[in-house]
Structure 1
Amino acid sequence: MNENKEYIVSFEIKEVTASTLREFTEKVEELTKNDEEISTIVAVVATKKLS
């Protein structure tokens, strides 16, 4: 039962920039409002030392 299967896939990347977690989740919810599926979220967080 070793069948070769072919799949056609496409990905669309969206950049979401937010200053707070709440703002981030609101923007992600806005993206998914139209039944758009999000399969992966990758976050890059940069922090600044204040002292």
Structure 2
Amino acid sequence: MKVQVLLRTEGELAVVVGEAEGETWPEMQTVLPALLRGVADRVEAHGEVPDAAP
């Protein structure tokens, strides 16, 4: 099983910003928060994000 986190912004192509592979869904669920945090970090690096969770 493979999970990819894509970031697509208006007017730009989608970019893979995180991915993980595992054998089971529970295994994948353990890495998903880190992948999503990586997306948030990448977005926040480009300036303040209104209403963003810490």
Q: TM-score, normalising length from structure 2?
A: 0.36
What's the TM-score, normalizing by structure 1?
A: 0.37
Higher fraction of helix: 2
Determine which structure has the larger strand proportion and give its number.
Answer: 2
Relative contact order, CA 8 A, sep 6+: which one is greater?
2
Higher Cα Rg, which structure: 1
